[in-house]
Amino acid sequence: MLKTLTRVGTQAFNKNLFSFSRNYCTRYTTDHEWVNNIGPKKYKLGITDFAQKQMGDIVYIELPKIGDSFEKGGEMGTIESVKAVSEYYIPIDGKITSANDKITEEPEILNEDPYGEGWLVEFESDQSGDFSELMSKDQYDKYIKDQN
Amino acid sequence: MIRLLRLNKFPILKQLQIEEALYRAPNSGNWIIINNGTPEPIVIVGISGRADKLVNLDEVESRGIQTMKRFSGGGTVVADENTLFSSILLEFETLKQLFPTLSAISSSSSSSTLPSINDGNIYPKDIMNWSANSFYKHVFHEQIDFSLQENDYAFGKLKFGGNAQSFSKHKFLHHTSFLYDFKDDHMMACLKQPDKIPEYRRNRDHLSFLCKLKDRYQSKDHIINNLLKTINNLPTSPSIKEVTLEEAEQFLSNPHPKSNQLFDYNLKSWKDITNEYNPIKNI
């Protein structure tokens, strides 16, 4: 039993370690989206603080439907601010599993908390390789700096 | 090359269908569309527009005026034969070639340093500043008080033109409705005061906030001629090719999402536009 408990405990520890480390694995795109690997083949996406500042007050968000599939680079929806309607894209092939309906009612959340409550969608994808090729935080920070 | 399409009293509903097709088509190129009025009055709200919040629907319906929602964002306007429409659809690469540096442009509304548009991405505020300071400033060069007030074209603090922008990966659309004249009664009766208004408006009602170009220009033709001169004097002298409506209409047949809609006063909801540009499909 002790061996079983040890094995189960080790498995649980490793799973938690996986979840812990992967929850903090965030990548960024040149279109100013952040993508968080939240579990095996599971991702969450939003726009960065830089993007929401460029947009100004956000007034409307169009979200994709659960079950919609997109190819890498495909347009998932639009975000309207006082300045413009802008598209946002999926950075790797994926299928939508969840959409943050709350932000359609309260779009200002996207300005206030772009990395937290302002997430846009969750999706599943087999393309972990493509995910790894997205920019790290340091690379994204440099990208923004080079823009300005 | 930039294709120039000149229209006269062409229905804005159909113009917006064409613009959406051009905007969504991957290789539609660069376009400037000028339309001298729309034949019948029509209320146009932006993509997120809640008709019930922005429009006095009963009033509009009783006047026989249609209400449509356009595919781009921005505010609400009552357009008619005295509204001058100007739409610019450019690929970002084209804009960078036309304006390789922003050093000559001063932003009147932004305190942030503008990035050089030759390096990196272009953002909505860049296009707003470019449109005001590098384009429409020349169109309205006779007016020393021309300015960009937040996102509106104004003389002093009086708005005469509203605009909307749409951004995709490789191009942008910036379209404007200029108020050469308007029926005061339509404006006041048809439109509600929006919840979100620009600060410079200071809660003024429509008639206190807007002004008419006819008070400064004797004819719409004068403004249209200024527009054409500005287009022909763009830096680096790009080739400008005047095209026919049929050339623009060709892009309608490309499959694309259609977001322009008409308000159904009976059902009290938006419905897809069904016309010769978007016929009902036989089942």
Give the DSSP per-residue string, B262-279: EEETTTTEEEE--BTTBP
CA B162/CA B224 separation, integer angstroms: 17
Q: Which residues of B touch A148 (CB under 8 A)?
A: 113, 115
Q: Which of B88, B112, B113, B169 to mutate against chain A (most A CBs within 10 Å)?
A: B169
- The type of residue at A101 is D
Using alpha carbons, select from B113, B128, B125, B122 the residue that is nearest to residue B95. B122
Put simply, the answer to whether B151 touches A148 (Cβ < 8 Å) is: no
- B104: pLDDT strictly greater than 90: no
Contact by Cβ (8 Å): A117, A10: no
Using alpha carbons, select from B192, B156, A52, B172 the residue that is nearest to residue B164. B172
Q: How confident is the model at residue B208 (pLDDT cuts 50, 70, 90)?
A: confident
Q: Which residues of B touch A86 (CB under 8 A)?
A: 124, 166-167
User: What pLDDT, on a 0 to 100 scale, did the predictor assign at position B111?
Assistant: 36
3-state secondary structure of A91: coil
User: What pLDDT, on a 0 to 100 scale, did the predictor assign at position B101?
Assistant: 67
CA B6/CA A88 separation, integer angstroms: 32
3-state secondary structure of A47: strand
Sequence-distant (≥ 6) Cβ neighbours of residue A68 within 8 angstroms: A76, A95, A96
Give me the residues of A, 72-131, that contact B with CB < 8 A: 73, 75, 78, 80-87, 89
Contact by Cβ (8 Å): B66, B270: no
CA B20/CA B190 separation, integer angstroms: 26
Using alpha carbons, select from B222, B147, B182 the residue that is nearest to residue B76. B182
Contact by Cβ (8 Å): A85, A119: no
One-character DSSP codes across B35-86: EE--SS-EEEE-TT--HHHHB-HHHHHHTT-EEEE-SS-S--EEE-TTEEEE
Put simply, the answer to whether B196 touches A60 (Cβ < 8 Å) is: no
> Domain A27-147, CATH 2.40.50.100 — does that match?
yes
CA A36/CA A23 separation, integer angstroms: 7
Please measure the distance between the N-terminal and C-terminal CA atoms of chain A and give it in whole angstroms.
Answer: 61
Nearest CA in chain A to B165: A84
Q: How confident is the model at residue B281 (pLDDT cuts 50, 70, 90)?
A: low
- A21: pLDDT strictly greater than 60: no
Mean pLDDT for chain A overall? 86
CA B57/CA B68 separation, integer angstroms: 12
Chain B touched by A55 (CB under 8 Å): yes
- A17: pLDDT strictly greater than 70: no
Q: How confident is the model at residue B183 (pLDDT cuts 50, 70, 90)?
A: confident
pTM confidence score? 0.86
Q: What integer is the mean pLDDT of B231-244?
A: 91
pLDDT one-digit tens code per residue, B65-103: 999 999 998 889 999 999 999 999 999 989 988 887 643
Rounded to 5°, the CA angle B13-B18-B22 comes to: 145
User: What pLDDT, on a 0 to 100 scale, did the predictor assign at position B278?
Assistant: 87
Nearest CA in chain B to A87: B168
Q: Which residues of A touch B73 (CB under 8 A)?
A: 59-60, 80-82, 84-85
- B63: pLDDT strictly greater than 70: yes
CA A123/CA A90 separation, integer angstroms: 9
ipTM: 0.78
Query: How is chain A split into domains, by residue range?
Result: 27-147
Contact by Cβ (8 Å): B9, B81: yes
pLDDT one-digit tens code per residue, A85-102: 999 999 999 999 999 999
CA B129/CA B135 separation, integer angstroms: 9
- A55: pLDDT strictly greater than 50: yes
Q: Which residues of B touch A85 (CB under 8 A)?
A: 47, 71-73, 164-167
- A7: pLDDT strictly greater than 80: no
Find the DSSP H helices in B106-243: 124-130, 137-139, 184-190, 206-209, 220-232
Nearest CA in chain B to A80: B73
Q: Which residues of A touch B150 (CB under 8 A)?
A: 82
CA A38/CA A48 separation, integer angstroms: 17
Put simply, the answer to whether A54 touches B72 (Cβ < 8 Å) is: no
Q: Which of A48, A80, A87, A105 to mutate against chain B (most B CBs within 10 Å)?
A: A80
User: What pLDDT, on a 0 to 100 scale, did the predictor assign at position A23?
Assistant: 41
Q: Which helix (DSSP H) or strand (DSSP E) does residue B167 occupy?
A: strand B158-167
Q: What integer is the mean pLDDT of A35-60?
A: 94
Q: Which residues of B touch A53 (CB under 8 A)?
A: none
Ranges assigned E (strand) in chain A: 26-28, 33-39, 42-47, 58-61, 69-70, 75-81, 85-89, 94-99, 121-124
Put simply, the answer to whether B167 touches A81 (Cβ < 8 Å) is: no
